[in-house]
Amino acid sequence: MKIAVLSRNSSLYSTRRLLQAIEARGHEGVVIDHLKCDLVIEAEGPSIYYQGEKLEGISAVIPRIGASVTFYGTAVVRQFEMMGVFSTTYSQSIVRSRDKLRSLQLLSGAGLPMPKTAFTNYSKEEKNLIDTVGGAPVIIKLLEGTQGLGVVLAETRKAAQSVVEAFHGLKARIIVQEFIKEAKASDLRVFVVDGKVVGAMKRTGKEGEFRSNLHRGGNAEVVKLSRAERTAAIKAANAMGLSVAGVDILQSARGPLILEVNSSPGLEGIEKATGVDIAGRIVEYIEKNQPKKKGTISKLKA
């Protein structure tokens, strides 16, 4: 098979590992910068041109779409889907995962536990909004934030009100979320492929940092999941329509709480912490799913 990794940078760890795994299993791997793709839509059928040449012969794609280019990136993935090319992550699922509010609504609708969260349309009732999630301290997040950016811990009610007012003054969309003290600046990153947990690590923020993101200096260690944590991760990925997902879970006094579901989870941290060939598992998933008949597209609920 000819498998394309949709990535803007071929030197990134995740992109390199996927190419290695593709070639190790006897397939041809190529990297395609999705921002350099031209989409042609006509009565004869959809097509994609890359650097002036029509793309043909691709059996599957592995989307690595950055949050800043979600709109065009998902349009490219959708075009591949309409051409009958199998994708490890459906375009609609990427769109879902990038909208924090929509994601939480879907997870809540599936009955999954999560930190209590509130959203408002620039309401002036900051005090009531904070009380709704249990009072200070609270976590305040930009809906478009990634890798820990746009996330603020407000330790007092006064600080929380000031931050909410500031974001609303900038017309920035935010959510206010319950702070889980017992998580102690740690969370679990659970990697799910094809409905199975293939790796898990515990991430802990550096001293003085409440965010556990590895990009912000956190560290990771392999962890053995409880049955409840494993089940929650699989259900969360399914609720988002994701066959490849990184599910972030907080360990709380009331059990595992789903924090976020990532549609383009990085491979470096999880592979180095667990020693598991996650990239190879993704290629195995592709092998199990032959390209769909031309002209078909997955029908996911909005």
Query: pLDDT tens for residues 38-62?
Result: 999 998 899 999 999 999 999 999 9
Calculate what percentage of the chain has a pLDDT beyond 70.
88
pTM for the structure as a whole: 0.86
Mean pLDDT of 254-266: 95
According to the model, what pLDDT value does residue 112 have?
Answer: 97
Whether the per-residue pLDDT at 138 is higher than 80: the answer is yes
Per residue in 117-129, pLDDT (tens digit) is 998 776 666 778 8
According to the model, what pLDDT value does residue 286 have?
Answer: 97
According to the model, what pLDDT value does residue 39 have?
Answer: 97
Q: What domains can you pick out in the chain, each with its CATH number?
A: 2-96 (3.40.50.20), 116-179 (3.30.1490.20), 182-288 (3.30.470.20)
According to the model, what pLDDT value does residue 215 have?
Answer: 52
Structure tokens at 102: 């929509």
According to the model, what pLDDT value does residue 185 have?
Answer: 82
φ, ψ dihedrals at 59, nearest 5°? -90, -30
Residues forming beta bridges with residue 207, ordered by sequence position: none
Per residue in 210-252, pLDDT (tens digit) is 555 555 556 789 999 999 999 999 999 999 999 999 999 999 9
**Mean pLDDT across the chain:** 88
Predicted confidence band at 291 (pLDDT cuts at 50, 70, 90)?
Answer: very low
Mean pLDDT of 143-166: 80
Per residue in 279-288, pLDDT (tens digit) is 999 999 999 9
According to the model, what pLDDT value does residue 54 have?
Answer: 96
According to the model, what pLDDT value does residue 224 have?
Answer: 94
